[in-house]
Structure 1
């Protein structure tokens, strides 16, 4: 058994029991490749909806925990420093989530993704329920809530590298942008599902708001373990000529050993090391780009309802409930932006060009929203939706299609798997920005909201600049008629330079 830092796989891939059961109802005794793709899309989609739904109870019950009018609130959050304590819990969750992402990605390329994802889902469900258990157990220790959220953040960090890696194994690069753009809607749908479920259960007691999403993600975790096919070789899926995935290529040909008799390929391939993954062309620029992009996105996620309720729109202030409902339009814009960014990047075959274009357009969108958003409800809705399109569009593109592309980069020459590691590096770096943005906003908003928006516009500008070198490379590739990735492969051939060291 290899150590966790080595490049060897620590598992043997096997066909899920649920797949074996479904095959009994097929005359051919096996599912088609298209059916496997549909199954993977649906399972990873609902799995991450459950992850996001499990995060929402914290924001739903904040008013109940800190409000002095609801049975005196809930100690220790019912005092004047209650909001600050709840903010510290959020910061702890996001910080552990960001750090855990790097570890989870490293392990994800060495462990069975199906089992690892199931552990993340059930663990998330357990600690989400444990937070709500304090309601019945009458726990009031701040450190209890802090510890539970830290552990919940750790298990939450397992989800993203796993679902992106699995999805990337089944969909080829040519259509990956559009497919993952649609798939990325799980974020908003998860937020909506969690909000509705937690709000509906809140009347029975705030503990139930945590128990509901916890049971949902636990149940879906079991479903994932029973039915999720990690990759085509594991289940013996045969792809036709139009479904050749870059994860199964060696140069321009399919790696026969992966589609042949080796059904358990875990010990036949090596996983890329953490430092080697950083050396894959494009990983570092996109990772730091996402740092600033996610800083902007998560600032809106945590502060937009507060901002809307504390700034006049059409000459009046909105209630907290109305402000919360209105702020969902930013998420709706994000869904549209994710689909558009994915489609455009597929058509242009330029991920960096598309991401940077959306990011630069986000700057005037943010400026207009701050300056003119207060005039009327109609203008506010339009500008909020537009901001969501341009802020969350590149966020969705980078965390899905770009991560999958780079994790199956041709420079790896088919001898390494890096999907989960690369996904973790990119989204983990972005999550650090996600933790910093809301904290900075808490301090800067005390000075002025204008300063907050200038900070967000500056972050967006820096985010776009970080992709400049990649944009130039993509433009040159378009002009020459060849992909930049092909050039990287050529330059990394033995006669030019040594391949990426997968043993780092």
Structure 2
């Protein structure tokens, strides 16, 4: 039997309905990952303040030096500042990518509530330590590198835990739409992180890190007291994760059983009031076992290139706007949030379309194909006017982050509860970690390549991003063909993702 984890506070009396618990799970996990991304964003905003254009500020008021970097923050005051910024980004991202493969294994075996809240408190600590370097007047590169590495490792606790929690409560029906809306936490976190960091970037940039650190720590404490991991912990029925064989023989029965759209995304019949026996604890799946689940490898490799593009924008877009459009640091940070606004719309759109068509891979592939020419246009005409820039940022954000959002949420949950597991293994955290961990390799490569390529011109950076989008699309070719064949057969337009 699965060991009983104490239910937080007195939620069993406060929330009598399974729908209430599902709503609470969505809200808490949304706030959790919003705060994770909120705490990651400040570095991209503060970069332009660590190495600003000092000549625009006039001569050094403290001495007669004619240095053009007198206002920069050492050690980022040299001509190699872009390479140092790339090193900061990759210290976090490489640690995140390595840690993610391990994190899912721990997440499958430890209480998710403890694992998530502990990781959030530690993330708040290391985020704040970066900002405290300003107040402690630290100018040693290795201090910032070590803080970034530690932060990257502890931040891997977030994604496998929140996806597993949501997957435990929500079945497959309408999962794409629900998780598409829910996944807006990524963009909401980036937007809030940009705005919060921008509020102090020009005055005391250390607060741009300390305030987000306090926020993620606070949300982590809230999750510790209120998050419920499993429906069985509060006598609610677990969701159905795939269509039963009898239903497969009668497609009309599938539609009838799904009923109208509800918060659960599956049946409109509520069984939550029936007390349930403690569920037998299934065996946690191995790493190699998770890789053998059909579709895991293809979507993992696709996400590597999709996340490469997304994270290059995350870390370098504000600096690109400063250099090309000549905005100030705060204005560039505010304008860059429009990319994340587009990401929210793209994630919802991708989830809705993939639910309706049953084609997760096809939806991703189409959006990636369209994203390539739009990135080319943004680089060449996006700075011709504020209106064009706003429109292009929103469109590019939707097309770039839509597939990324769909793969890391609905696809990960589909594969983690794949019918090939036959209920004999826990795989949600491990599958999520494999997919996002592989994607995080791309997230590390993107900013690194941008740092190396940008001195040769921003055009070359965008050519690299376009090539990555095309490769991401090609890696899904086999799955797209499978989905297309399915549409022509008797199982046409079955909801959700199935590949063999």
TM-score band w.r.t. shorter chain: 0.7 to 0.9
Of 42, 48, 64 in structure 2, the residue corresponding to residue 57 of structure 1 is 42
2:49 touches 2:202 (CA, 8 Å); kept in 1? no
Q: Which residue number in structure 1 is paired with residue 31 of structure 2?
A: 46
Tell me whether 51-60 or 184-193 shows the greater mean CA deviation.
Answer: 51-60
Q: CA deviation at 1:471?
A: 1.1
Structure 2 gap ranges (5+): 61-69, 248-266
Q: Is the 8 A contact 1:14 1:264 kept in 2?
A: no
Query: Structure 1 CA distance, aligned partners of 2:73 and 2:209?
Result: 15
User: Residue 167 of structure 1 corresponds to which residue in structure 2?
Assistant: 166
C-alpha distance in structure 1 between counterparts of 2:123 and 2:129, whole Å: 10
Corresponding residue SS for 1:311: helix
- Tell me the residue number matched to 1:87: 86
Match of 1:23 among 12, 15, 35: 12
Cα–Cα, structure 1 residues 326 and 169, in superposed 2: closer, same or farther, change >3 Å?
same
Contact persistence 1:341–1:394 (CA under 8 A): yes
Contact 2:44 2:314 in 1 (8 A): no
- Superposed, 1:18-417 pairs within 5 Å as 18=9, 21-25=10-14, 31-67=16-52, 72-202=71-201, 205-238=204-237, 244-246=239-241, 262-263=277-278, 265=280, 268-311=281-324, 317-417=326-426
> How far did residue 322 of structure 1 move?
3.0
Listed one character per residue, the Cα deviations across residues 470-502 of structure 1 (whole Å, up to 9, x for unaligned) are 11111222221227999x9998xxxxxxxxxxx
- 1:65 and 1:446 map into 2 onto residues whose CA distance is 18
CA distance in 2, matches of 1:123, 1:233: 29
Q: Distance in 2 between matches of 1:207 and 1:306?
A: 19
Q: 1:295 to 1:479 in 2, by over 3 A?
A: same
Task: Judge which range, 376-385 or 433-442, deviates more.
Answer: 376-385
Find the residue that maps to 1:31 and give its secondary structure: coil
Tell me, in whole angstroms, the C-alpha distance in 2 between the residues paired with 1:84 and 1:346.
43
Distance 1:309 1:73 in 2: 16
* CA spacing shift, 1:377–1:490, aligned 2, 3 Å: closer
- Comparing 272-281 and 299-308, the one that deviates more: 299-308
Aligned-residue offset at 1:137: 3.6
User: TM-score if structure 2 supplies the norm length?
Assistant: 0.85
Q: For residues 363 and 196 of structure 1, do their structure 2 counterparts lie closer, same or farther at Cα, with a shift above 3 Å needed?
A: closer
Change (3 A) 1:389 1:308: same
C-alpha distance after superposition, 1:208-259 (max 9, x if no partner): 33221111111111111111111211221136xxxx3218x886799x9xx9
Deviations 1:333-379 (A, max 9, x none): 11111000000000011111111111111122122223332443323
The equivalent of 1:4 in structure 2 is: none
Aligned equivalents of 1:180 and 1:477: distance in 2? 24
CA deviation profile, 1:259-302 (whole Å, cap 9, x unmatched): 9754364xx31011001111100000000001111111112222
Whole-Å separation in 1 of the counterparts to 2:198 and 2:499: 56
Equivalent-residue separation in structure 1 for 2:153 and 2:142 (angstroms): 16
State how many pairs are aligned. 461
- Which whole-Å deviations, capped at 9, do the CAs of 1:377-436 have from their partners, x for residues lacking one? 323322222111111111110011100100000000011111111111111111111111
Give the SS at the match of 1:215: helix
Per-residue CA deviations over 1:99-155 (Å, capped at 9, x if unaligned) read 111110111111111111111101101112222333344433322221111111101
Decide whether aligned partners of structure 1 residues 139 and 179 sit closer, same or farther in structure 2, where only a CA change above 3 A counts: same
Q: Secondary structure at the match of 1:179?
A: helix
Distance 1:24 1:120, change over 3 A: same
Query: Mean Cα displacement is larger for which, 406-415 or 198-207?
Result: 198-207
SS in 1 for 2:455: coil
Q: Is the 8 A contact 1:331 1:388 kept in 2?
A: yes
Residue number in structure 2 paired with 1:470: 479
Following TM superposition, by how much is the alpha carbon of 1:55 offset from its aligned partner in structure 2, in angstroms?
1.2
Per the alignment, in what secondary structure is the counterpart of residue 294 of structure 2?
A: coil
Change (3 A) 1:382 1:13: same
Cα deviation code 1:427-467 (max 9, x no counterpart): 11111111111221222233333332222222111111111
For residues 381 and 184 of structure 2, what CA distance do their matches in structure 1 show? Answer: 28
SS in 2 for 1:245: coil
Q: 1:46 to 1:142 in 2, by over 3 A?
A: same
**Residue range with higher mean Cα deviation, 438-447 or 57-66:** 57-66
Kept in 2, the 8 Å contact 1:201–1:212? The answer is: no
- Which residue of structure 2 lines up, in the alignment, with residue 3 of structure 1? none
In structure 1, what is the Cα distance between the partners aligned to 2:151 and 2:489? Answer: 49
Give the aligned CA root-mean-square deviation in angstroms.
2.9
Question: Aligned partners of 1:289, 1:489: CA distance in 2, in Å?
Answer: 17
Structure-2 separation of matches of 1:323 and 1:490:
43
